[in-house]
Amino acid sequence: MYKKLLIFVSIITLISLIAYTQLRLAEIDLVEPSKIYIFQFTLYSFLLAIVLEWNGLKQLFKGKIGINYLIIPCIIGGILTFIPKYQWLHWFGAYLEPEGLRWLGTPFYFEGIHIMIAIISGILLVRSFVKTDAGNE
């Protein structure tokens, strides 16, 4: 019972930290973005996903550790999501038209996309280290 309560409190705390950091980011002008808030925002989202995957964490703590192919998209997603929005704007410009390869950077202009990728990467991180009964592929 206490474990589930601890998980619930952890999830609520991380969601609150994400909301607080989002408010701080909203106060900052795009001319001078704060790197620490952008990093915190992404990190809290990543940690939230790890806590949400608590069954997998429980398996890891029990010693059922094995690496599988899910680590590859986790690493790619983690790298992409920790690159801040202003860096994507610098690389690809503020074009929303699908012109050349600029459309590749367009999704990363939005914090919501960063949250989604961070959460997916966090879940994949835990799942990539949990040993399955059928064996790791």
Give residue for tokens 């399955």.
Answer: 132
With cut-offs at 50, 70 and 90, classify the pLDDT of residue 20.
Answer: confident
pLDDT digits (tens, 9 = 90+) for 112-125: 888 888 899 999 99
> How many angstroms separate the CA atoms of 46 and 56, rounded?
15
CA distance 4 to 10: 10
**Of 44, 53, 17, nearest in space to 127 by CA:** 53
| pLDDT exceeds cutoff 60 at 36 | yes
Q: What is the pLDDT of residue 34?
A: 64
Beta pairing partners, 130: 65
pLDDT tier at 133, thresholds 50, 70, 90? low
Q: Is the pLDDT of residue 43 over 80?
A: yes
Going by C-alpha positions, the residue among 64, 51, 50 that lies closest to residue 129 is 64
Render pLDDT for 92-106 as a digit per residue (tens, 0 to 9). 776 655 566 666 677
Residue type, 133: D
DSSP 8-class letter at 132 = P
**Pair 65, 127: CB distance under 8 Å:** no
**Alpha carbons 59 and 68: distance in angstroms, whole number:** 15
What sign results for the dihedral spanned by CA atoms 120, 121, 123, 124? positive
